[in-house]
Amino acid sequence: MDRREFAALLPALVAGLSALPATAAPSLPVLESGTFKPGPAKTGSVPKRASQAYTRGMLKAGNIQLEIHETTQEVGAPHEPIDTHLHSEIWLVREGTVELTVNGAAHRMEAGDIGICIAGDKHYIQNVGDTPATYFVVALGPPE
């Protein structure tokens, strides 16, 4: 999927998510149009990995949460835990080479590639290159 196909898909994804039933009111802010700068880099429970949050909040178009962050995985970083979510995730690779594994199928991604994981799919992403890998994650769906 190239960037144009992704751009055409995003409005349909947002429209479909807005039809989901409302859940308990989240304590997240309602997002406004604008620009967002990255927050400070934070390391989590997975070694050799750091993330910077850009924004997280609710869209006005219904019960849809949007979260955007950037992650850098060092060479040899272990993959994150295999996970599923109520939201869908979109990865945009900025640099390096990663492998996105969805429901057991591995997909190699390089700088400029986009990967999508639909809500409920088991997935993880791992740096499989010989340089650090950096990618953006756009999570879109009901609050969790």
Domain ranges of the chain: 3-141
**pTM assigned to the model:** 0.80
For residues 90 and 114, the answer to whether their CB atoms sit within 8 Å is yes
The residues with which 83 forms a beta bridge, in sequence order, are: 123
Q: Which residue has the tokens 């019960």?
A: 63
Task: Give me the CATH topology for the region 3-141.
Answer: Jelly Rolls (2.60.120)
pLDDT score, position 8: 63
Q: At 4, which helix (H) or strand (E)?
A: helix 3-18
Please name the residues in contact with 15: beta carbons below 8 A apart, sequence gap of 6 or more. Answer: 61
Buried b (16+ CB within 10 A) or exposed e, 8-27: eeeeebeeebeeeeeeeeee
Q: Check pLDDT > 50 for residue 139.
A: yes
For residues 18 and 65, the answer to whether their CB atoms sit within 8 Å is no
- Strand order of the β-sheet with 42-43 is 42-43, 49-59, 64-73, 133-141, 88-95, 114-117
Q: pLDDT digit string (tens) for 19-66? A: 555 544 458 999 999 999 999 999 988 899 999 999 999 999 878 999
CA angle (121, 67, 139) in 5-degree steps: 20
Distances in Å between the Cα of 63 and the Cα atoms of 29, 60, 97, 117 are: 12, 8, 34, 19
Q: pLDDT digit string (tens) for 108-130? A: 999 999 999 999 999 999 999 99
Among residues of the chain, what percentage have pLDDT more than 90?
A: 71
Q: Check pLDDT > 60 for residue 90.
A: yes
